[in-house]
Structure 1
Amino acid sequence: MRLTSDEESVLRVSGSNRGGRRGTGGARTGRRRRGAADRRPRPAGERRLPLRTVLLVLLLVPSVALVSLWGLATYELGGEYREQSVQHDLKTTVGPLNAALFNSLERERRLTQEALASPRASRTALIRQRAVTDRALRAFEPLTSADTRDGQRGLAAAISRTVRVTGRLAQERRAVDTGTADEDRAFAYYTEAIEAGTRVFAAISHGANGEVTGLSEVLLDLNGVVDMIGREDAVLARGWASGRLSAEDYDLVVDAVGTHEYLLKSRVAPNLSAEESRLYTAMTRSEAWKTRVALEERLQAADGDGIALSPARARQWRTATDASLARLEQLIGVHSQVSNAAGAAAVQELRLYLYSTAALGLLAVALVVLVTWRLTTLLRRRILAVHGQAQDLEQRLPRVVARLEQGEDVDVDAEVPELSPARDEFGQLSRALNLASRTAVHTAVRQAEQHRGFERLLQRIARRTQLLIGLQLKKLDQLERRHEDPQVLEGLFDLDHLTARLRRYEENLVILAGGQPRRRWRRPVPLLDVLRAAQGEVQDYRRIEIDVEGRPWISERAVGPLIHILAELMENATAFSKPPAPVEIKATPVSRGIAVEIEDRGLGMEAEQYEAANALMQAPPQMDVMTRADDVRLGLYVVARLSKTLGLQVELRPSAFGGTRVIVLVPQDLVAERPRPVPDAAGGPPPDDAAPPSPRHRHAGPRPADGPRPADGPDGLPVRSRGQAMADVTAQAPAPAGPPDPQTGPAPLPRRTRQASLVAELRAPAPPDPTAAPAPPGAPARSGATIGAFQRQSRKNRAAGARPPAPGTDQPEPLTTEDRG
């Protein structure tokens, strides 16, 4: 069995109402439509972000930007502070150690030159100075492992070069002691080592702080002055012993004098502080400094070739130079303290600035974030309030529609009261939503009233059409009794069957319009008769095989709706199974009632369609007929609606034959007990033919009966005779024993027996019809409406001629579709 066009439409309606059920074809269709609508390209200007995203952007963008700026500024200040702090620490650590090594090498250079110029002179001072230099070198060598990543640029290379050059110090000393090194070699080596120390001074003088760098450069120049004076002293030291200077030595002395004078006058003196200027002035005005300067002037004024040096001048030079170097070292010490203090103050000031900036920046970030969060929260609350009004409208409108569907009156002012919102933009939006709510509710009320009026009109038209159909059925019955022409009867039977189906379709229209069918029974009816009545409303009824176990009876209030439900399901089974495949109907009493199984051998359905159909049977949706005006696929909805009203359980399953198996469970409260049999007129027991039937009843179209028939048509089917009804379609007679007679052919087809389908209580003798004549030999075959037409008319006649029941007894009512309350 497959779903008819009626049922597929109902599935779509059901799936759209339930929304979340999986496997519903209609729900998938709705989602596909909505998905297709959502996937339609939008212009770039119409793309919208969710509200939460917009508010988060408003909160996060300024907050993240401010936090980023604060973090970057703090990081930069922190890096600068760390750099200056490390540079200051390196300067205070490396500077003194390098100065000690620098001064030691200066003195050792002079003493070495004196020792080489006078080999016989005492070397006690040189040995002592070498020990001082070794101590200074051992203190300086660990600086090679110092962390200088954040220190001054080039400091690590300068320290490494100094350690590398001083590493040859022991070798050069041995050369001096053994006499393998002359004065020039020793002078060149010590000068190279001192220059390495000068590069260390130059490296630590260039820092991140400009003020400290300026002070450090003055200190570098002062050490350069010391180096030039020491270089001049070393050159003169090797000339005092011989009393003369070579031209090369003279040039070295003159260059050294000119260099330290330039450094003092041009670079040191203008950059000294007040206290340092006083020291500088005292140094330059001292007798020792003047003596040394006078001796230097005499040397510069003398001829450069073979300058004579006297021992007296050597003593004056020594005294003046030592005193001048002492004053220079004093000035260097004072300036180093000033430079270190300035560096420490700069580091302290930068640290304070870093902490204050970080704290103020953090406070500003927190304030901005808090204010932004508060504003976005207020904005979100107001937007959510407007959204709540929209949701309230979304929830209120279905409730109003549901109340209107139940026939209640709805007051628009009570459902949507007037609001008094603020006068800003959100207030305007709230007023617009309130106006939209009132308009929507008012429109819903008006449409519901129009819909109810349309349903009432539709039901009224359908009721009138049903009356006309009933009159048409009566007229057809009269014509069938009046005419004997086979061709006319065949046409009348076809019209009768079509009219019966039309009546069912009109009942469908009534049900879809919110009404209920009016076919009513006043007494219980056997289930077999219910199944046969449903079979009579199916076009291809010959393929339907009915098998009933026992003889159950159906309550009078369930007969009409159950006939309608079974007829719809039988019609569906025959429509979607290929002829001549049979459609099997089995009815079996179960613990909770009666189970009627309708099984076909068609193509079946998909698993999702079964799931959707069963979900529809459980919860049929409320349908608006006006919205489905162009859709006639509503049969399954009618089944679901009637089943819900009666409390029936309908379930669709796959069949073992590949088709569909429908199980209709009639609950126990709709199952009636069989009425007690009525005794005959003489008060005796019921007739024998009123005995309980056999446990199982099968019906698959006309069946053979006992005795000969009045006449048969060309195709072997029974023909209609006045006064006789086709009761043998329900009363099964035993088949004749033995093989068929070869003279007469196969066993005759079933013959209609008067009152064979009635219960014993309704059987009564009918007056003979003297005008009845046997059917002509050429009677045509019966159409699909023969059974339904014969049953209706014959039962009506039998019911009219039945004996009245005895007082106090219950008499079952025959199953006649003409009984409409």
Structure 2
Amino acid sequence: MGDGNGLTEPAGDAPRRLKGARRLKLRTVLLIVVFVPSLTFAPLLASGMSQLATQWQAEKVQMDLATATVGRPAAELLFSLDLERRLTAQVLAAPGSAARGQLAEQRAVTDRAVAAFRPLTGLDAENAQEGLLDAVARTDRGLTGLAEQRRSVDAGLSSAQRAFDYYSGVLESDLAVLTALGKTDEGEVNRQAQALVDLYWVVYMLGREDAVLARGWEAGRLTRTEYGIVTDAIGTRNHLMRSRVIPALTGDETRYAAMTNSRAWQTLTTLEGRLVASGGVADQVTLRDDGAAWRSAMDEVTGQLRELLDLRFANLSRIGYDHATMVFTVFVIISTIGLLALVLVFFTSWRLTAVLRRRILHLRREAQELQERLPEVVARLERGEDVDVDAEVRPLRTTPDELGELGQALNLASRSAVLTAVRQAEQHRGFQRMLQRIARRTQILIGLQLKKLDELERRHEDPEVLEGLFDLDHLTARLRRYEENLVILGGGQPQRRWRKPVHLLDVLRAAQGEVQDYRRISIDVEGEPWIAERAVGPLVHVLAELMENATAFSRPMTPVEVRAAPVSRGVAVEIEDRGLGMEPEQYEAANELLRSPPRLDVMTHADDVRLGLYVVARLSASLGLKVELRTSAFGGTRVIVLLPESLVVERPPTAAAPAPRAAQVPPEAPEPVGASRDEGELPARTRGRAMASVSAAGPPDRAAAPPPGRGPLPQRVRQASLAAELRVPSDRQERTGEESWAVRDQPRRSGATIGAFQRQSRRRRTGDDAFTPGAGGSAEPSPPTTEDR
């Protein structure tokens, strides 16, 4: 039958029931899942069950204490001490009477009651009535003086009043125990227990009155104090009986309502009336010889009261245990119903959740597949492949409910995501191509500019003009590196190529020549490592970026040290500055970028100051370099570039071995002008040696011939200071595919060379033959020229 929500459940057809459940509206399913647990309210059920269990346990414990554990020993102690108090009073009033034997027997009964009461001091306080343990402790402390009191009575050292006060104090402590037992957690039990406590007080008042009169019957008189005790006890007892005990009697207890009309009670009342009437105002009250009648009536009334106490005690026990049993029954019923409700909740929730889970998991799988397909589509787009949006997006089959609408939205989102990725990839590829075209055109112009600067440097010999040309040449070389950065960020690779391996020192000098503040960089290379030709261009670019970063983020006057040495797995190059360094998390982020270079979107990272790190990361990944940033001992940053063994080669057989450091001419001893060289030997730069003696090959120009007796003017030889591997071929066609590079010397070497060249040129023109180099032969260093590239 239908339920109005499209759910049809034929009997015995589980598949159709499941199919009907799938057609439930999502709102209906959620309402069922939410409201069924809310109605059962499991936490409240657990709290109620816990409270019922606690109440039942507490009532059961309290009833056990009131009836068996504490109630009966305390009641027996009350009756025993009350009787011992009267017999003690008789013995003190008439030491030779027959009451002494009765006192001895009663003391034995009292001792048994005390022995049964004493263990109650070790009761567990959990669930016990309020004030019970304190009352038990006070009674126990009172009983400790019982033996001493008895010895005083037997020795005749204790007065009647002292003995009376002692027994009365212990009895009142015992009554406090019985009163505390009536304070349970159940109201009806408390009401019934109050009448029982009142009956105990009636017995206590009768015993109090009997103890005082016991010694009065022997003496035939009472003192005014004793008379007051008796009259107070009579008034209290009558009030309790008429106002509290008799009105509280119920059931089979009502037959004791006429107890006050019995013959014994009437006799007791008559004798008390005579006693009260004979009080007068004298210091002593004379008693008639009514002791035998009093004793007979007193014993009978006490027996009746004890019968009523036992009956009341039994009824109270029954009421208390019945209520505890009722609480336990309620606890069992509620627990059973609650557990059944929880089982129903779990079963219903499981059934409905299973349906929802299958449908939602299906949507999640589709979303995960889209998540896996989208990066693959993007990767294909990055590789330049064409992607068909309709073929990549597989639409989900939808249903006419909320989850079906969600599936339709997922279809739209899938198509939109793939289409957006395709459009962004096309836009990104277009921007990269545009960026590379612009950078390539700019590189052509930069190459033409370098060529023009070469021509100007060869044409002019004025030191000031040459210095300006050198600066322009250096700026142009840096601009060429920046343009290569754009090519690399646009997805391309540097175009400069070498056909032969290059010495590592020359590579480091070339990188140094492309740094703005190159004078601060010092280079130290151990050994004679050579770099494979395929890695020269990218390695120079990487080192130049790192050197410029070191000079840019350190103080202008502090040095930047570059050290290179062979290691077990290749060659390690260290670049160390003395700047401010970075925070540990910044080092970690930079190293992570260098380890895993991301795909860089130039349009979204236009303002990122770490574009140089992106370039280094891309080039290092293509070469297999390992670049790591660490904290320097000087407080700055130390960069370690590890060149793998695949990039380090042996020195080519045709390459001339560099002069050893020990054989280099020191700065203080530059090569003299006109020093002889083997014919055809290219000039070699050494630390501190000037280029004043370098002259071009071939016959000298007659027009520029010096005066007689003077040497020829120094002339710059193009690429004379470069290693053979870094020289640019003279053939114009070969220069088309290979650009010139700046290989600069250390600051004092470059400065010494150019300074010596300028000084010697001036002296030659002025006719001064007395050329003496200054200390070190150095002047203000200037950037490397195009011939050094």
Per the normalisation by structure 2, the TM-score is 0.61
Q: Which residue of 2 aligns with 1:340?
A: 313
Q: Report matched runs for 1:227-242 at 5 Å.
A: none
Q: Provide the secondary structure at the position in 1 that maps to 2:643.
A: strand
Change (3 A) 1:327 1:78: same
Residue 138 of structure 1 pairs with residue 138 of structure 2: no
Change (3 A) 1:400 1:232: same
Q: Which residue of 2 aligns with 1:459?
A: 436
Contact 1:549 1:695 in 2 (8 A): no
Contact 1:497 1:537 in 2 (8 A): yes
Q: Which amino acid aligns with 1:95?
A: A
Per-residue deviation at 1:463? 1.8
Per-residue deviation at 1:558? 3.5
564-573 vs 784-793, which moves further: 784-793
Q: Report matched runs for 1:54-133 at 5 Å.
A: 74-75=53-54, 78-89=57-68, 90-103=70-83, 105-106=85-86, 125-133=98-106
Q: Which residue of 2 aligns with 1:774?
A: 704
Per-residue deviation at 1:504? 3.1
Q: Which amino acid aligns with 2:64?
A: S
Cα deviation 1:418-469 (Å, max 9, x = unaligned): 5678999898888777766664554343223211110011111222222333
Cα deviation 1:496-527 (Å, max 9, x = unaligned): 55544433332222112110122334566676
Q: Report matched runs for 1:540-619 at 5 Å.
A: 555-565=532-542, 568=545, 595=571, 617-619=594-596
Cα deviation 1:731-780 (Å, max 9, x = unaligned): 88999xxxxxxxxxxx98231344xxxxxxxxxxxxx7898853899x99
Instruction: Identify which of 739, 758, 763 aligns with 1:817.
Output: 739
144-153 vs 345-354, which moves further: 144-153
Instruction: Identify which of 178, 193, 204 aligns with 1:212.
Output: 193
Per-residue deviation at 1:211? 1.0
Per-residue deviation at 1:129? 2.2
Per-residue deviation at 1:617? 4.8
Q: Which residue of 2 aligns with 1:505?
A: 482
Q: Which residue of 1 aligns with 2:13?
A: none
Task: Give the whole-Å Cα distance in 1 for the aligned partners of 2:666 and 2:513.
Answer: 10
Contact 1:289 1:324 in 2 (8 A): yes
Task: Give the whole-Å Cα distance in 2 for the aligned partners of 1:83 and 1:642.
Answer: 87
Per-residue deviation at 1:94? 2.5
Q: Which residue of 2 aligns with 1:743?
A: none
Per-residue deviation at 1:247? 12
Q: Provide the secondary structure at the position in 2 that maps to 1:128.
A: helix
Task: Give the whole-Å Cα distance in 1 for the aligned partners of 2:725 and 2:582.
Answer: 40
Task: Give the whole-Å Cα distance in 1 for the aligned partners of 2:133 and 2:630.
Answer: 88
RMSD, matched Cα: 6.7
Q: Report matched runs for 1:522-537 at 5 Å.
A: 522=499
Per-residue deviation at 1:217? 2.4
Cα deviation 1:569-625 (Å, max 9, x = unaligned): 6666777899999988887777766x4857688759569587776665544443222
Q: Report matched runs for 1:755-794 at 5 Å.
A: 773-774=703-704
Contact 1:651 1:662 in 2 (8 A): yes
Task: Give the whole-Å Cα distance in 1 for the aligned partners of 2:504 and 2:279.
Answer: 153
Q: Report matched runs for 1:480-495 at 5 Å.
A: none
Change (3 A) 1:325 1:435: farther
Instruction: Identify which of 750, 772, 782 aligns with 2:693.
Output: 750
Q: Report matched runs for 1:660-671 at 5 Å.
A: 665=643, 667-668=645-646, 671=649
Contact 1:530 1:559 in 2 (8 A): yes
Per-residue deviation at 1:639? 3.7
Cα deviation 1:45-65 (Å, max 9, x = unaligned): xxxxxxxxxx9xx99xx8777
* Gap regions ≥5 residues in structure 2: 1-33, 184-189, 742-789
Cα deviation 1:661-693 (Å, max 9, x = unaligned): 8656364456377377xxxxxxxxxxxxxx955
Change (3 A) 1:649 1:706: farther
Residue 352 of structure 1 pairs with residue 325 of structure 2: yes
Task: Give the whole-Å Cα distance in 2 for the aligned partners of 1:583 and 1:276.
Answer: 112
Change (3 A) 1:774 1:298: closer
Change (3 A) 1:573 1:323: closer
Change (3 A) 1:797 1:404: closer
Q: Which amino acid aligns with 2:104?
A: A
Higher relative contact order (CA 8 A, sep 6+): 1
Change (3 A) 1:333 1:452: same
Q: Which amino acid aligns with 1:328?
A: V
Contact 2:253 2:312 in 1 (8 A): no
Larger radius of gyration: 1
Contact 2:684 2:721 in 1 (8 A): no
Per the normalisation by structure 1, the TM-score is 0.59
Change (3 A) 1:135 1:434: farther
Per-residue deviation at 1:272? 5.2
Q: Which amino acid aligns with 1:467?
A: I
Q: Which residue of 1 aligns with 2:618?
A: 641
Q: Report matched runs for 1:263-662 at 5 Å.
A: 318=292, 324-353=297-326, 355-356=328-329, 401-409=378-386, 439-474=416-451, 498-522=475-499, 555-565=532-542, 568=545, 595=571, 617-631=594-608, 634-649=611-626
Pairs aligned (count): 672
Task: Give the whole-Å Cα distance in 1 for the aligned partners of 2:717 and 2:359.
Answer: 68
Task: Give the whole-Å Cα distance in 2 for the aligned partners of 1:601 and 1:445.
Answer: 45
Q: Which amino acid aligns with 2:704?
A: P
Q: Which amino acid aligns with 1:342?
A: N
Q: Provide the secondary structure at the position in 2 that maps to 1:665.
A: strand
Contact 2:74 2:178 in 1 (8 A): no
Q: Which residue of 2 aligns with 1:674?
A: 652
Q: Which residue of 1 aligns with 2:202?
A: 221
Contact 1:545 1:584 in 2 (8 A): yes
Task: Give the whole-Å Cα distance in 1 for the aligned partners of 2:591 and 2:269.
Answer: 121
Contact 1:541 1:784 in 2 (8 A): no
Per-residue deviation at 1:100? 3.6
Task: Give the whole-Å Cα distance in 2 for the aligned partners of 1:290 and 1:549.
Answer: 132
Q: Report matched runs for 1:190-201 at 5 Å.
A: 199=172
Task: Give the whole-Å Cα distance in 2 for the aligned partners of 1:794 and 1:255.
Answer: 135
204-213 vs 351-360, which moves further: 351-360
Q: Which amino acid aligns with 1:352?
A: T
Q: Which amino acid aligns with 1:87?
A: A
Task: Give the whole-Å Cα distance in 2 for the aligned partners of 1:603 and 1:392.
Answer: 49
Change (3 A) 1:529 1:340: closer
- Percent sequence identity is 39
Task: Give the whole-Å Cα distance in 1 for the aligned partners of 2:273 and 2:579.
Answer: 129
Task: Give the whole-Å Cα distance in 2 for the aligned partners of 1:602 and 1:260.
Answer: 105
Q: Provide the secondary structure at the position in 1 that maps to 2:432.
A: helix
Contact 1:547 1:586 in 2 (8 A): yes
Cα deviation 1:626-676 (Å, max 9, x = unaligned): 123245764454344333323345567889999968656364456377377
Q: Provide the secondary structure at the position in 1 that maps to 2:493.
A: coil
Q: Report matched runs for 1:26-37 at 5 Å.
A: none
